[in-house]
Amino acid sequence: MVPSTYKTELCVTRVLVGGIEAKLIAVMPGQINFVLPDHPWENQMVDFQVVREGRTSAVVPVYFGFNRPVISLAAPAFAGMPVWLQVEKPFGTGRLRYPFRPEPWDMGPATFEVRFQGHELPILKLLPYPPMGFGMMTVGLPREVPSKFLSRIPLHLVYPMDRPGTYQIRYTEYRDRPGSTERKVYLQSEWTDIELLPSTSVQRGEWFRLLAASQTDETIELLANFLPALLAAHDEPALRLLVPYLESPDSLVRQYAAYALNYFDVGLLQRVIPGRQPLRGGVR
C-alpha cells in the first residue's frame, strides 16, 4: 500500500495517539498496525487509545523521546515509611536490579540529587560513607529477580524521607572518561516531583505489623524487598526483626544484615546485641 492512501478508520476501528487520529495500515485480531501522527513529542507521556464501533479502550500512556531515564514513585509513599523509586531507563541501557552489593545504601550506577523545600537534602548521617555511583556490576543471586522487583530503588536507604511534602529528584549515571580521572554524564533524568503523604503512628504501626507477618527465608524476597523495606524504621522492633538474619545460612543475606546494623543507634545496638559491631565496608 502507498502511505498516502492510509486511512484513519479501518474495520470500524480508530487509534488515537495523544488525541490525534493515527493512520491505520492493518487491523487484525490482537494486533493493529498504524503510522504515528506527525507530532514533535519528546520526553513526555503520550496517551494511546483504541476506538472500535464507538466504544473506547482504556488509555495506555507511552513514553516518547525515551532518551532519558524516567523516575516516579513505584507506589504511593508516606513519610517515615519505605519510599521505592521506579527508574525506567532508555531502551538498550539495561535495567536496575537491587541489591547491587551487600551494603544496603549502595545504589550501583545510580546517583540521586534530592531537594526538599528548596534545599539540597543531605544523605543519612548514619551511613559510614556515601554511595559512589560506580559501575553496573551486581552481586550474584540464586535466581532471576521477578520483574515486579526490577527497576526499583529504595530511596529511603540513602535519604531521610521522613517529612511529608513534595521532593524534587534527579537521577544520574556517570561513565569514566577514557584517559582521565573525570567522569561524564551517561544518563540523566529530568528533575521530577514526587509527593510523600503524611503518616500517623497508627499507620506506621500497621505497616510494621504487616511487614513482620511477611517474614521469609527466601533470598530474593529478602534482599530485593523485605530487608530494604524494614530499614525504613530505625527503632528497636525493626532491629529485633533484623537480628535473626545475621545468622542466615545465606552468606549474602548475612552480609547485608551486618551492613544494615549501620542504620541503628550505637546505644540501641549495644543493648539488643551487645558486642556486635556493624560492618563498615569501604569505598571501592
CATH code, domain carrying 177 = 2.60.40
Q: Which of 197, 224, 257 is the last residue of a domain?
A: 197
Shared domain for 138 and 115, answered yes or no, is: yes
* Residue 12, phi-psi category: left (phi > 0), alpha (psi -120 to 50), beta (remainder): left
Tell whether 235 is covered by a domain. yes
Shared domain for 255 and 148, answered yes or no, is: no
Q: What is the mean pLDDT of residues 115-143?
A: 88
Tell whether 281 is covered by a domain. no
Q: Which of 197, 217, 239 is the last residue of a domain?
A: 197
The pLDDT tens digits of the residues spanning 241-284 come to: 999 999 999 999 999 999 999 999 999 999 999 999 999 876 44
Share of the chain above pLDDT 90, in %: 68
Shared domain for 94 and 134, answered yes or no, is: yes
The answer to whether the CB of 168 falls within 8 A of the CB of 115 is yes
Tell whether 278 is covered by a domain. no
Tell whether 282 is covered by a domain. no
Residue 3 reports pLDDT greater than 90: no
Shared domain for 41 and 98, answered yes or no, is: no
List the one residue out of 11, 35, 40, 12 whose CA is nearest residue 24: 35
The answer to whether the CB of 13 falls within 8 A of the CB of 52 is yes
Question: CA–CA separation, 250 vs 244, rounded Å?
Answer: 12
Tell whether 267 is covered by a domain. yes
Shared domain for 192 and 250, answered yes or no, is: no
pLDDT at 105: 96
Question: CA–CA separation, 97 vs 114, rounded Å?
Answer: 21
The pLDDT tens digits of the residues spanning 15-31 come to: 999 899 999 988 988 89
pLDDT at 66: 55
Residue 178 reports pLDDT greater than 80: no
The C-alpha cell that represents 256 in the structure block: 547485608
The C-alpha cell that represents 11 in the structure block: 474495520
Domain residue limits at 47: 3-64
Residues 6+ apart with CB under 8 A from 22: 8, 14, 15, 16, 34, 35, 36, 37
Shared domain for 158 and 172, answered yes or no, is: yes
Residue whose grid cell is 513529542: 41
Shared domain for 133 and 210, answered yes or no, is: no
pLDDT at 93: 85
Shared domain for 48 and 85, answered yes or no, is: no
- Total domains in the chain come to 3
Shared domain for 190 and 218, answered yes or no, is: no
> Per residue in 47-77, is it b (16+ CB within 10 Å) or e — as a string?
ebebeeeeeeeeeeeeebebebbbbebbeeb
Tell whether 109 is covered by a domain. yes
Secondary element (H or E) of residue 21: strand 20-21
Shared domain for 115 and 161, answered yes or no, is: yes
pLDDT at 42: 62
The pLDDT tens digits of the residues spanning 160-172 come to: 999 999 999 999 9
Tell whether 280 is covered by a domain. no
Shared domain for 114 and 163, answered yes or no, is: yes
Tell whether 283 is covered by a domain. no
Q: What is the mean pLDDT of residues 212-234?
A: 97
Shared domain for 127 and 182, answered yes or no, is: yes
Secondary element (H or E) of residue 68: none
Q: Which of 21, 39, 64 is the last residue of a domain?
A: 64
